[in-house]
Copies of this chain bind each other. A is one copy, B any other.
Amino acid sequence: MDLKQDIKLAVDIVIFGYEERQLFVLLIKQKYGKYKGRWLLPGGFVKNKEGLKAAAIRELKEESGVVVDDLEQLFTFGDDVKRDHRGRVVTVSYFGTVKPSSMKLKAATDSIDAKWFTIESISDLPYDHNQIVETAFNRLKSKLNYQPIGFNLLSKKFPFSDLENLYMTILQSPIDRRNFRKKILSFDFLEETDELLSKGSGRPATLFKFNKKKYQSSLKRGINFEIKFA
């Protein structure tokens, strides 16, 4: 083993939330060090006998109270050897999506606060965290083209317009609603319920729900959910 290697390994986590046509990113307020009091991404060092993803799930929970089943690996940042002022730190970034209203934020360990920020309001984050957020946002957008990502972002049952709004919010552009509806309903993972939602004076809207099992079994069969936007 190369015993002279002196590189630390960390994880950083980008959690997206969606509520009322707004996309949010979860940040925590740093408790210690040079960036004490600054808002940044949850994250921290990997333990010696801890898997990378397990470290990300743990740090996220400790620093923000957010509990997720699964995170997706995003990118490992380590080309810039000076990205951390404390020494050489390479960070494996992860991202995930949750519904903010389903989570109670709770800071602990290295964090004194945790809060949702709209993606537009995030400006100057410490380290290369802006770049990490941007990379995650680009991944989220490109994922829309081949995977439905609404599972964790919407309520269990929702009117179709919620799904449309979610897509338009993330893509930051209008979509062809007719094509979108046709395409999405052609997949069998979105199911119509027999419940209606009455809102204001308009016609009550049918509520839909995702069938995660069907979706996952289709994924296993190699079905590619390509969704076109015009």
Tell me if A52 and B78 are in contact (CB < 8 A): yes
Taking CB as reference atom, which chain B residue is nearest A6?
A: B48
Q: How far is the CB of A222 from chain B (nearest CB, A)?
A: 11
The verdict on A130 contacting chain B, using a C-beta distance below 8 Å, is no
The segment from A80-88, A118-126, A175-183 found at the interface with B is: A80-88
Q: How far is the CB of A67 from chain B (nearest CB, A)?
A: 19
Q: How far is the CB of A92 from chain B (nearest CB, A)?
A: 5
The verdict on A79 contacting chain B, using a C-beta distance below 8 Å, is yes
Give the chain B neighbours of A224 by CB distance below 8 A.
145
Tell me if A54 and B79 are in contact (CB < 8 A): yes
Taking CB as reference atom, which chain B residue is nearest A92?
A: B76
29 contacts between A and B (CB under 8 A): A1-B8, A1-B86, A2-B8, A2-B45, A4-B48, A5-B8, A5-B45, A5-B46, A5-B47, A5-B48, A6-B48, A7-B46, A7-B48, A46-B78, A49-B81, A51-B78, A51-B79, A51-B80, A51-B81, A52-B76, A52-B79, A52-B90, A53-B79, A54-B79, A73-B75, A76-B76, A76-B92, A78-B92, A90-B92
